[in-house]
Every structure is written in structure tokens, then in C-alpha cells.
Amino acid sequence: MWYDDLFNEIINAKNIMQAAPMSAYMKNQFDFLGLPSSARSGIFEKYFKQEKQSKNIDWDFVFKCWECGYRELQYIAVDYLLRKHKYLTYKDIDNLKNLITTKSWWDTVDSFNRIFGTLLIKYPSVKDTMLQWSADDNIWLKRTAIICQLNLKEKTDAGLLEKIICNNFGTNEFFINKAIGWSLRQYSKTNPDWVRGFINRYNDKLSKLSVREGSKYI
């Protein structure tokens, strides 16, 4: 396989001195090899050049990375999917959901917004999935739904954004309220009048954090 030696090279590059502080930064939830992003990317790119011409998604590789005990391998899986996001299809959503809900934390979950933005444009029915996720009990599915349009600019479906945010009023969950503010702040760069109106309309329902973040550029 194209990645046969990638895992060995990554693990052999372990930097014990850097691993501990990197793990501490992520609340000690994951073990790290201690590789800076530049070193990790350099190894990944060396092997990926054999694979990048393929229009198929190698899910065996992705899940092998996800099952690995070192966080850098999950980052490599995300890098792989981002590099091949235009080849992802509606049928891949269940696999993506598996990644979001396994070994979940903001460092991997937030990377998927570009992928879901692409899927939303290609497959309008993904909007229904995002609405469902926005009301799910899993906070990382909720967060993914809230930020799925971050990079869509003028292609943002404001009606969908409103419904998703409204589904998350009344929570004290930091990662949800922060995501709401983030999505509003980002969209305000494209449509400040809409965001200003939204905040005025729902000011009594939005958390102070969401309002503060969402109002930053307006």
C-alpha cells in the first residue's frame, strides 16, 4: 500500500521532549509523538504524492490513522481528507460522522467545516443532515453543523444557519456557544446587516459569549 512505511517513519520521528507539552495543551486527552506540524506534513507529503492522483478515498488508511494511539496520525487523516475533499460524496457522510464522534476534540472536529461546506454545495440534502446534527445530543455533531458554512461566504444559506443556531439556544456548553459566535462573526464579513439583525432579533436567547464573538466585526 502507498502508506506502508508512513506509520513507521512517523512513529520513529517521535520527540519525547515535545510530546508532553503538546498533550498537556490538549488537556492530556491524547498521546502525542511530539512532532511539529511542519515535520508531520513533510513526512505525509512524501507518501501522499503517490496517492494524490487517485479520485478514490482510501478509508482503510483514514481509519487506520484514527485507530492509532498518537494524535498526529489523526491530524494526518484530516490532512488527507482535506487534500481530497472534492472527491468526497454524500455516501461518505457516515464515515465522516464516525470520525467526528470518535476521539473528539476541537482540534480535529473544526477541520471538517471545509469538507461539509463542499458537500452542502454539491448535495442540497446535506442541509437536512446538518439540521439533524444540530439537534443531536453529541456536542461535536452540533458544533460541526453550526460551523459547516464558515467558508461559504456569499453561498451561505442564511435560513439554514438561523435554524441551526436556534436549535442550540439555551445551552451553557462553551464549545456550542463559541461556535455560534464564530459562525456569526464569519458570516458578518459577507453579510453584516443580516448578522446584525439576527443578533438584535435573538439577543435575549443568545449567550453573552455568542453575542460578543458574533459582533466583533459589526
Domains plus CATH for the chain?
1-87 (1.25.10.90), 104-218 (1.25.10.90)
57 residue type, one letter: I
Number of CB atoms found within 10 A of residue 80's CB: 21
- Bridge partner list, 31: 70
Q: Are 200 and 193 in contact (CB under 8 A)?
A: no
Give the cell for residue 189: 464579513
**DSSP at 52:** T
CA torsion sign, 156 to 126 to 102 to 112? negative
pLDDT string in tens for the chain (218-residue length):
889 899 999 999 999 999 999 999 999 999 999 999 999 999 999 999 889 889 999 999 999 999 999 999 999 999 999 999 999 999 999 999 999 999 999 999 999 999 999 999 999 999 999 999 999 999 999 999 999 999 999 999 999 999 999 999 999 999 999 999 999 999 999 999 999 999 999 999 999 999 999 999 99
pTM of the model: 0.96
